[in-house]
Chain A
Amino acid sequence: AQSVTQLDSQVPVFEEAPVELRCNYSSSVSVYLFWYVQYPNQGLQLLLKYLSGSTLVKGINGFEAEFNKSQTSFHLRKPSVHISDTAEYFCAVSEQGGSEKLVFGKGTKLTVNP
């Protein structure tokens, strides 16, 4: 069975600063990896996903993530954040060739301050 650990529950940063949200996963098989964003009182929106190929994945809103198989990590980064990036971010994993069920991390609350 897979599991996902988001190492930081809250990350405060100043506007225009870079940010990294950390995600580590555990699985005995190859996986697909996802990052979702949730704005207050809304559903989750897919930011980006890694299926195969290039380990650097670019998503919407200027975010990118890098898959590191040896470290079983999929950290999310943005070089310069905006106030509007304030939201909760969820990392998720599913098995390749298995159930489509996603396993989510507990989320990281990103707060961008002026």
Chain B
Amino acid sequence: SQTIHQWPATLVQPVGSPLSLECTVEGTSNPNLYWYRQAAGRGLQLLFYSVGIGQISSEVPQNLSASRPQDRQFILSSKKLLLSDSGFYLCAWTGGAGRGYTFGSGTRLTVV
């Protein structure tokens, strides 16, 4: 069966520090991968998606970047965090149209 792993679960980082969040999928190949952010009291904002290794599409301009170095690995990064980067970050994958997404358990990022 397919599983998705996301870590860390919580993270407190100072302003200006770097960020690396990792997401991996097991039990499938060539998934479409997504990074979402959920700010307090707001809906889900799609940040990046990837349809293959090295292929990244950005949905909104921001202080973050994403990479897909391997088929089932998706990384969210920042060189210098801002206070506004605080939020709940969710990774998701899908294996085909109509299947919907399977989400990871999320990372709560607090920038202080």
- Which A residues are within 8 Å of any B CB, using their own CB? 32, 34, 36, 41-46, 49, 51, 90, 92, 94, 96-98, 100-102, 104-107
**Which chain B residues numbered 67 to 102 have a C-beta less than 8 Å away from chain A?**
88, 90, 92, 94, 96-102
A100 near B44: Cβ-Cβ < 8 Å: no
Question: Please, how many angstroms separate the alpha-carbon atoms of A42 and B105 in the complex?
Answer: 5
B104 near A97: Cβ-Cβ < 8 Å: no
Most buried by A among B49, B97, B105, B106: B97
Offer 21 A-B interface pairs, CB within 8 angstroms, sorted by A: A32-B100, A36-B100, A41-B106, A41-B108, A43-B90, A43-B104, A43-B105, A45-B103, A46-B101, A90-B44, A94-B97, A94-B100, A97-B97, A100-B32, A100-B97, A101-B49, A102-B94, A102-B100, A104-B43, A105-B43, A106-B42
B32 surroundings in chain A (CB, below 8 A) = 100
Q: A90-B43, A97-B97 are in contact. List 20 more A-B contacts (CB 8 A).
A: A32-B98, A41-B106, A42-B105, A42-B106, A43-B6, A43-B92, A43-B103, A44-B92, A46-B101, A46-B102, A51-B98, A96-B97, A98-B97, A100-B32, A100-B94, A100-B99, A101-B49, A104-B44, A105-B43, A107-B43
- Which B residues are within 8 Å of any A CB, using their own CB? 6, 32, 34, 42-44, 46, 49, 88, 90, 92, 94, 96-106, 108
B99 surroundings in chain A (CB, below 8 A) = 100
B94 near A44: Cβ-Cβ < 8 Å: no
Is chain B's binding surface mostly helix, strand, loop or mixed?
strand
Question: Please, how many angstroms separate the alpha-carbon atoms of A49 and B102 in the complex?
Answer: 13
B103 near A102: Cβ-Cβ < 8 Å: no
B100 surroundings in chain A (CB, below 8 A) = 32, 34, 36, 46, 49, 92, 94, 102
Closest to A49 in B: B100
B96 near A100: Cβ-Cβ < 8 Å: yes
